[in-house]
Amino acid sequence: MQPKIAINIGKLKLKNPVMVASGTFGYGEEFKDFVDLKKLGAIVTKTITLKPRQGNLVPRTCETPCGMLNSIGLENPGIDIFLREKLPILSKIGVPIIISIAAEVPEELTELVRLLDNTDINAIELNLSCPNVKRKKFIGLKPQTLIAQNAKWTKIFVSTARKATNKTLITKLSPNVTDITEIAIAAQDAGSDAVALINTLIGMSIDIQKRRPKIATVTGGLSGPAIRPVALRMVWEVSQKIKIPIIGMGGIINVSSALEFFIAGAACIAIGTANFVNPKVSVEIIEGIKEYLIKNKIKDINSLIGALKI
């Protein structure tokens, strides 16, 4: 008998709990020759903004021990081109599509959400936590302060999105905070159906011969296996404080690292940096989860969520 691995996130129904994370899988089409996209639980798109963004100066990425730094700067074609050129292709894949969006001010967020509300997408991810952009518009926070670093503004942005749509809302949180549970509670109270954590940690790397940073923006987002212990700790902490589902991410590279997140309290997981190393890793993890459940006589993956023994 096959174990049950279906998961519900708000109105979003997933046949399995494995997603591909925003910014690591393009718009899905880029990976179609490497992996059977129909086997994925969901695809989270690269973050879209209201207007096109060129992104940051190059170099934008570099390898680090057990990870990578990136400072892409949310490069994207803008919502109009996305709706016209990207979404029709995504809609044909046959798996739930979650659109990641970012905005500098609540008014921009409202417009983005309303445009997406009129489409057949399945859910919206609010990227309030990208560490590689600085806001140009003043909203009461310093330009270098992320929305997801402030509980008040997290609540304002999530509430704004909630008023504009009935679609499932996922709020992506930053690990670059003193207490991530405070931000998660704010997102829940504002109407988010789930939280996704963690986004990248802020780090840097130096070329000792040139005595220059290896990426143009000096600092960037650190991802990969190096951040997994931090991500796991934060998933576990947040799971003790909120009632909405958690989508865990951060350094998942194989079945065992994926299972850690479920046991810590995540209802779903998202694969990020590992996609660059092995495009098939998400499908391999889906099969590995099934094998683990069968081997341990677990009939439903929901029984594994938060099963950590202290």
Q: Which residues contact residue 284 at a Cβ distance below 8 angstroms, ignoring those fewer than 6 apart? A: 254, 255, 278
Nearest partner of 111 among 163, 147, 156, judged by Cα? 163
The token pair that represents 268 in the structure block: 């779903």
Catalytic annotation present for 130: yes
Give a three-class secondary structure readout of 151-167: HHHHHHHHHHHHHHCCC
CA distance 214 to 205: 6
The 10 Å Cβ neighbour count of residue 290 is 16
User: What are the φ/ψ torsions at residue 58 (nearest 5 degrees)?
Assistant: -90, 155
Angle at 56 between CA 51 and CA 60, to 5 degrees: 135
End-to-end CA distance of the chain: 31
CA separation for the pair 221, 132 (Å, rounded): 7
What is the residue-wise DSSP string for 184-244? Answer: HHHHHHTT-SEEEE--PEEEE-EETTTTEESSTTSEEEEESGGGHHHHHHHHHHHHTT-SS
- Residue labelled with tokens 């995504």: 90
In this structure, what are the phi and psi dihedrals at residue 132, rounded to the nearest 5 degrees?
A: -105, 20
Query: Known catalytic residues?
Result: 130
